[in-house]
């Protein structure tokens, strides 16, 4: 499978994600995206380096299994199924996502790539995924969906990291693995606290503090 095909699928999953209202489905798509991302380095032929293989396995395990597991457990206990009236509607989100992807292509065009780079779609895909994650983070009310947004944002950084991972493995791998760790560990704990304190993970409850 060519890496470009997998990257295109990743961008496609961004669109599906911003258009979905069901929290369960959003988590499912995040899982699919996590696995797609795990396959890209293999398709790029990076699987021969054991340390990259380790990063891939860790990323798939965390993004594809651990985080969704934590999120689903929280979801199950608070009985939320849908993202009710998000700050930005689904149609508008979809259009913004398309706009962001377009801008990413322009932006990536302005950044020169080192000669000999085979996968040229990585930079625009990284920027577009980053933008999608950001969009979900700011436009959704549920803490669970916000965490999904954070995961997608991280996926964008992971995509960019693939550009560098062969030449500077230590920098990229530590960064990505540590970022993942935060995603799971901290957010998982706080979601637990929010659940017990509010009996729901709707961040609308978290709106007492304002000026």
Partner 1 sequence: MALLLIAFPLLAALAAYLVNSSTIRARILPAAGTLHLALLLAALRHWDSLPVNAWLGLDALGAWVLLVISTLFCICAFYAPSYLVLRADRDSRIFCVSLLAFLGLASLLAQARHPGVAWVAMETTTLVTAPLIYFNRNRRSLEATWKYLLIGSVGIALALLGTLFLAYAAHFGGVEEPLHYTRLMQHADLLSRPWLRAAFVLCLVGYGTKMGLAPLHTWKPDAYGETPGIVGALLAGGVTSCAFLALLRIYGVVVAAGEARFAQELLIGFGMLSMVWAMVFMVRQVDFKRMLAYSSVEHMGILVFGIGIGGTAARFALYHLAANALVKSVLFLSAGNIHRSYSSKTLPHVTGAIRRTPVSGWLFLLGFLAITGLPPFAPFISEFNIAAGALTSGHTLAGAAFLVLLAGIFIAMSETVLQVVFGTPSHQRVRTPYSDTVATTAPLIVALCLAGLLGLWLPKPMHTLLEHAAVTVDGSMAPREVPAVPLAGPVLTAEVPHE
- By CB under 8 A, name the binding residues for partner 1: 110-112, 114, 130, 134, 137, 143, 146, 150, 153-154, 156-157, 160-161, 163-164, 167-168, 170-172, 174-175, 178-179, 182-183, 186-187, 190, 193-194, 197-198, 203, 205-209, 211
Neighbour tally for 46: CB within 10 Å: 19
C-alpha span between 145 and 109 (Å, rounded) = 31
Query: What single DSSP character describes residue 47?
Result: G
Considering the complex, what minimum distance in angstroms separates the CB of residue 168 from partner 1? 5
Which residue, 91, 146, 152, is CA-closest to 125?
152
Considering the complex, what minimum distance in angstroms separates the CB of residue 125 from partner 1? 13
Considering the complex, what minimum distance in angstroms separates the CB of residue 1 from partner 1? 25
Neighbour tally for 102: CB within 10 Å: 12
Which residues share a beta bridge with 22?
82
- Residue whose CB is less far from partner 1, 69 or 198: 198
Considering the complex, what minimum distance in angstroms separates the CB of residue 109 from partner 1? 11
Q: Please give the full DSSP string across 123-187, using - where no structure is assigned.
A: HHHHHHHHHHHHHHHHH--BHHHHHHHHHHHHHHHHHHHHHHTTTSHHHHHHHHHHHHHHHHHHH
- Residue whose CB is less far from partner 1, 124 or 150: 150
- Residue whose CB is less far from partner 1, 64 or 161: 161
- Residue whose CB is less far from partner 1, 1 or 135: 135
Considering the complex, what minimum distance in angstroms separates the CB of residue 98 from partner 1? 22
- Residue whose CB is less far from partner 1, 86 or 161: 161
Contact 135, 155 (CB under 8 A): no
């Amino acid at each position: 499978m060519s890496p470009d095909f997998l990257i295109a699928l990743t961008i496609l999953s961004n669109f599906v994600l911003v258009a979905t209202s069901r929290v369960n489905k959003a988590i499912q798509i995040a899982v699919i995206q996590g696995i797609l991302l795990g396959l890209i380095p293999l398709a790029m032929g990076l699987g021969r380096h054991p340390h990259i293989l380790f990063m891939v396995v860790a990323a798939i395990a965390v993004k594809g299994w651990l985080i969704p597991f934590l999120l689903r457990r929280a979801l199950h206990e608070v009985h939320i199924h849908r993202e009710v009236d998000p700050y930005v509607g689904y149609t508008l989100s979809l259009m913004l996502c398309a706009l962001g992807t377009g801008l990413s292509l322009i932006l990536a065009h302005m950044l020169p790539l080192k000669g000999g780079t085979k996968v040229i779609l990585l930079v625009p895909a990284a920027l577009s995924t980053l933008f999608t994650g950001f969009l979900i983070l700011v436009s959704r009310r549920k803490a669970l969906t916000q965490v999904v947004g954070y995961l997608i944002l991280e996926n964008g950084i992971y995509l960019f990291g693939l550009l560098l991972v062969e030449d500077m493995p230590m920098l990229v791998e530590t960064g990505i693995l540590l970022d993942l760790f935060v995603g799971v560990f901290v957010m998982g704990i706080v979601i637990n606290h929010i659940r017990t304190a509010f009996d729901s993970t709707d961040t609308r409850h978290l709106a007492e503090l304002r000026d």
